[in-house]
Structure formats: C-alpha cells, structure tokens
Structure 1
C-alpha cells in the first residue's frame, strides 16, 4: 500500500511557502503536497499547518542561493509571482534537487519539474519585460504620475524597480487593477498604497488631458489604413493590454 503523501498548509505568502518547503525538506520528503490555508475544500487527511518564521524562510532561501546561485532564487520568486495554482510540488522538487545537487539544476531540462519551473519563470519574465514598455503614465493634478495595468501574473514587484531607476526624481504610482495592489515611489523608497481612487481619470491634470488628445490625433494621422494588420498588432501587443493605452487601438 502506498504511503499517504504529506500535505503542508501555509498562509499564501512567499515566506510561508519557504517555511513549508523547509518543513518538508527537514523531514527528508521527496514528494508532498502544499495548500494555502482557507484556499479550498479540506481533503480526507488534514494538512500539517506550517507557521511563518522570517528566520526560517531566510535560512532556506540562503541555502538555495548557496547551492544553485541567484538563478535558483530568481526562479523560485518568479514562479511564486506566476500565481499558478498547484505549482508548489514542482517548485518544491526544483528546490530539493538544487539543494541535493549543491549546484544549479537549470540544465536538467529532461526533469519535468525543472522544465515546468523554467517555463513558468520565462512567462513571468516575458510579461514583466513587456509591461515595462506598455505602461502609460498619466500626470495627475498634484504632478504624481499614475499608471495602471492588469497583468496575467503578479509582475508589479518586478516592474516597479525598472521605473524606480527610470524616473528616480518623480513621484509615481503603479496600480495593478486585477489584484488591487499598488506601489508608489516618493523619490526615496517604494511603498505600498492603500485606497487608490477608483476614478483616477477625473484627477488628470489639464496638461495631461491635452497631451492625450494630441497623442491620439498623432497616432491616427500617422496610421496608414492600407497597411492595417490587426493580427500582427495583436501578436506584438496582446489585446488585453489595449484598454490601458492612451491611443487605444481598435
């Protein structure tokens, strides 16, 4: 009779996931399950609840860094931000293999878990890179720059540092509408924002409104109707991003 697999529950945070991995690895488990507390119907066997300890999470992450380098840590972070339901077992196997090997396992593409982790990481990285070029900042009346988007993955923590370097002297807010998350840069540090106004368009500066009108006229005048290629346009700029562009292509 096969042994009943252990199930660990955690609070849904990144530190919580690391603590769950540390608990499973501490018991020498090769395969086990992970669930987020309150995230679904309980199974036949209650999961083992793992408490969150920042020190435990930091130690596990440092072990992974020493074994697999920054690449292993980056893959762990990116896949967590991918928000793929049920990805924990593959991510745990990736981490466990890295710790066992004592070196990077990113060359082990024949391993299903490693391959899936690398594929998920690539999708998150691609979307984060794409969003750095597609975000449109709008000037509000108080001179704050505001940008909104609805990414498939939770790429806000990856996108914000890019604009921190790009606009270091400006005050700006990047708002993930899908998750209700926002990060602001005040010229000194990044910090989360609570309670972003719903109707931000009503707060635009007069100069911003004028620039938007001019930009739409420019894009319309520049377009050549005979060369319109909607399929190619969607290929380079998926339609789900269009509604947050100033030019709003049809």
Structure 2
C-alpha cells in the first residue's frame, strides 16, 4: 500500500498516526508531488490533522533525545523525496522498539536520517558563513539565497542574534519565501518580484548610495590581504565550494 501525504511535516506525522490506527501492514509513504499511481498497488490519501500530528510528535519527544529530534527535523528539511519514506519508517521503528533504538546503525532508516541530517547541517553552516547582505535605500539589509536544502528555519536564530540591531531579509529564491527581522521578531514573508528584476542582485537604484563603495572597499581588503605565494586553489575550493561564490562580495567581478 502507498500512503500519499501533502509534503508537510504535520502530514507526515498524520500518516504515522493513520498507520497505527489502521494497521495496514507494509506501507510506502510518498508526497503528492512525486506520487505516480500504480496498477496493482492500493493507495490511501492521508488527511493532515494537526491534533494527530501533535500526538505523534509528543510521542517522539518521549522516545528520542533532543539531538535525534533535530536530526529528524533536519532530515525533513532536506526535501529529498526518499527521505519522507525513511522518516515514516524510522518513526514506526522507534515506536515499535524500546528506548535507544535510534542507536542501531544497522537499521537502514537510522543510517539514512543520520546522513540526511549531516548534509543539511553542513548547508546550514555554509549559509551562516557565506551570506552577504546588501543595504537598500530604505535601510533594509537584503540577501537572496538558493540553498540545496530548506535551511531558513535553521539559520533564523543565528542571524537574529548576530544582527540584532538592524532590519534584514533573507530570501530563498528556490522555495519562494524568506525571513524578515524587524528588530523584534523574525517572520516568514513572500515577495512578488516584478518581471525583469534581478532577484539575486537588486538594481543599484534600489540600493543605498554607499553600498557600491562598501563593496569596493571589501574587495580591496581581500585583494590586499591575499598572499599570492601561498595560494592553494584546491584547498580554497574545498572549504569554499564554487557554488557558494555567488554569495560572496569578494568573488563578484569588478
């Protein structure tokens, strides 16, 4: 049997509740985004239910340590289609076994979640390190990103604490939503970009008049601090992969 859910975390947890309620036997979980009907497979569409989802999550909180709850959440944020079924099967496994079952790395679902979480955490740290803001004419600091995974929920506190005295927006162009900090709270936002607008690098008309000067000074600093004789491109790319260079002011063409 295939369980079909809406792709949300609440939907996934609701699917777990339905499995224990119905006891249908072996089930594969797929999101509506990738589901393709099969001739000889029975399907069941899961209705997302916040109350049921909360009960399942409360049960996980009793069965798992905080570090594994984070691994669970990070695995969900990976948005990898196969991860959803691994999360579903992992949850069934945890509830059907004694405390500490998550330490059994001989279980394919335990290994899968550990792997997904590691990749997402790595992307989180890189976003925290490589994001560069541009100051707009109205005093707002703006940065656009398109990370491999949905890491905005994980980087919110870092930027709120680090840039507590300025308003900023970090916008995920791939997932079409962002975070806005208004000096008090961080809220999710969506932006309707006008056709023709460069979403990655806003027009200079929209930027603060000193932004270009700051960018030039930053590039000059990196150029002067660079020691040509000690240049190691292979090591540099290992620590700063080329796909992240588009975020770095010092890497932008002069």
Q: TM above 0.5, one fold?
A: yes
TM-align CA RMSD: 1.9
Using the TM superposition, name which of 48-57 and 33-42 deviates more.
Answer: 33-42
> Which residue in 1 is equivalent to 2:29?
34
Judge conservation of contact 1:33–1:88 (CA < 8 Å) in 2: no
1:168–1:16 distance in 2 versus 1, CA, 3 Å: same
Distance 1:88 1:230, change over 3 A: same
1:128 aligns with 2:124: yes
Describe the SS at the equivalent of 1:86.
Answer: helix
Which range moves more in the overlay, 101-110 or 12-21?
A: 101-110
Q: CA deviation at 1:224?
A: 2.2
- Determine whether 1:212 maps to 2:230: no
Match of 2:105 in 1: 109
Partner Cα separation in structure 1 for residue 252 and residue 190 of structure 2 = 31
5+ residue gaps, structure 1, are 1-5
Q: Which runs of 4+ in 1 moved over 6 A?
A: none
Q: CA deviation at 1:22?
A: 1.7
Choose from 3, 6, 14 the match for 1:8: 3
Does residue 43 of the first structure (1) align with residue 38 of the second (2)? yes
Using the TM superposition, name which of 208-217 and 105-114 deviates more: 105-114
Q: Distance in 1 between matches of 2:100 and 2:141?
A: 41
**Structure 2 unmatched runs, 5+:** none
Higher deviation after alignment, 217-226 or 151-160: 217-226
TM-score, structure 1 normalization = 0.90
How far 1:65 moved relative to its partner? 0.6
CA distance in 2: counterparts of 1:169 and 1:30, whole angstroms = 54
Q: Does 1:18 align with 2:21?
A: no
Residue 51 of structure 2 aligns with which residue? 55
Cα distance in 2 for residues equivalent to 1:46 and 1:191: 41
